[in-house]
Amino acid sequence: MIGNEECIRLFSLYLQVEKNYSLHTVSGYTNDIHEFEQFLKEENVHSFLQVQYIEARLFVSKLVERKLSRATVSRKLSSLRSFYRVLVRDAYLSENPFSLILQPKKEHRLPRFFYEEELDTLFEFARNDPSSLGIRNYALLELLYATGIRVSECQGIKLQDIDFHLSVVLIRGKGRKERYVPFGSFAHDALTTYINIGRVDLVKEKHDYVFVNNRGKSITSRGIRHALQQLMEKATVNGKIYPHMLRHTFATHLLNNGADLRTVQELLGHAHLTSTQVYTHVTKERLKETYMHHHPRA
């Protein structure tokens, strides 16, 4: 009988080779499986192959008791359903114990985004820091808003990926899918200044990654989030803020100003249009403007 460790290895191989997922994504999936394995030990179940519907149902109940968000529970369920689907496919099991477990209904929260006035405050604050790290942070801010790319995608950009003549950048997204994303004059100028001045000052040993940390090494996704989080807090932008809001803001502003949904989907790198449709909300100002312009008795 195949052991638990070998089951996880097979699943990890499936995610990397067949699904072409990044190491970060694979790690997230396997962490969910390890968490389930720990639960099984506590229930005196020693093998993944011994799991029945009752254990699967009990695990979900435990997740709910911990007051985890619906999105988190849904993600863990998806990981386990995929894990057992592989074991069934490879004939280690005859049926998937998670196949009858229903996904929790998703919470329909509108993505949070910056208003243009908030962005102006943020950009102005970032632009006034003349240090090498300040120049880097401003370039990060401009590029993330100009392109709507994920922080993890930004981290992987190399010098040869940027075409300054055409003002486009090659992005490697989820599933290692590649796409070209254009950027505007503000991001162009910020990147040029950073690469020619800020980056030159920070880099000690030659490498191709565009964005670097204070030691001149390639910056991590966590490093980007930390740097921008601090910048946003210092700029005293109101409310709870986080770097991914720049991606939400990019999509919201494009759609509010007339861009079509398919184009925004392509720019964001969404595999499915339904992922992009969440951004079809509009700001209160836009709603009021439309109402005042079109209603006969406004």
Give residue 112's region: left, alpha or beta (phi > 0; psi -120 to 50). Answer: beta
Question: What residues contact residue 121 under an 8 Å CB cut-off, 6+ apart?
Answer: 235, 236, 237
| Antiparallel, parallel or unpaired: β 168-172 and 178-182 | antiparallel
Q: Is 270 a catalytic residue?
A: yes
Instruction: Give the integer Cα–Cα distance in Å for 217 and 234.
Output: 25
User: Out of 174, 179, 226, 286, which one is annotated catalytic?
Assistant: 174
User: Out of 14, 21, 138, 279, which one is annotated catalytic?
Assistant: 279
Taking only the tens place, the pLDDT of each residue in 198-230 is: 999 999 999 999 999 999 999 999 999 999 888
Domain ranges of the chain: 4-89, 116-243
What pLDDT is stored for residue 255 in this prediction? 87
Confidence at 108, pLDDT banded by 50, 70, 90: low
Q: Which residues lie across from 54 on neighbouring strands?
A: none
Q: Is 174 a catalytic residue?
A: yes
Q: What is the 3-state secondary structure (H, E, C) of 81-114?
A: HHHHHHHHHCCCCCCCCCCCCCCCCCCCCCCCCC
Fold of 116-243: hpI Integrase; Chain A (1.10.443)
Taking only the tens place, the pLDDT of each residue in 226-271 is: 998 888 888 876 656 778 889 999 998 898 888 888 999 999 988 8
What pLDDT is stored for residue 231 in this prediction? 87
Confidence at 177, pLDDT banded by 50, 70, 90: confident
Question: What residues contact residue 198 under an 8 Å CB cut-off, 6+ apart?
Answer: 132, 133, 134, 135, 136, 139
User: Out of 76, 199, 248, 270, which one is annotated catalytic?
Assistant: 270
CATH of segment(s) 4-89: 1.10.150
Taking only the tens place, the pLDDT of each residue in 43-97 is: 999 999 999 999 999 999 999 899 888 889 999 999 999 999 999 999 999 999 9
Whole-angstrom CA distances from 129 to 120, 135, 154, 241, 243 are 15, 7, 21, 20, 19
User: Out of 76, 150, 199, 248, which one is annotated catalytic?
Assistant: 150
Radius of gyration of the chain (CA): 23
Question: What residues contact residue 84 under an 8 Å CB cut-off, 6+ apart?
Answer: 48, 51, 93, 96, 97, 98, 99
User: Out of 76, 247, 248, 253, which one is annotated catalytic?
Assistant: 247
What pLDDT is stored for residue 170 in this prediction? 96
User: Out of 75, 179, 217, 244, which one is annotated catalytic?
Assistant: 244
Q: Is 150 a catalytic residue?
A: yes
What pLDDT is stored for residue 97 in this prediction? 95
Q: Is 279 a catalytic residue?
A: yes
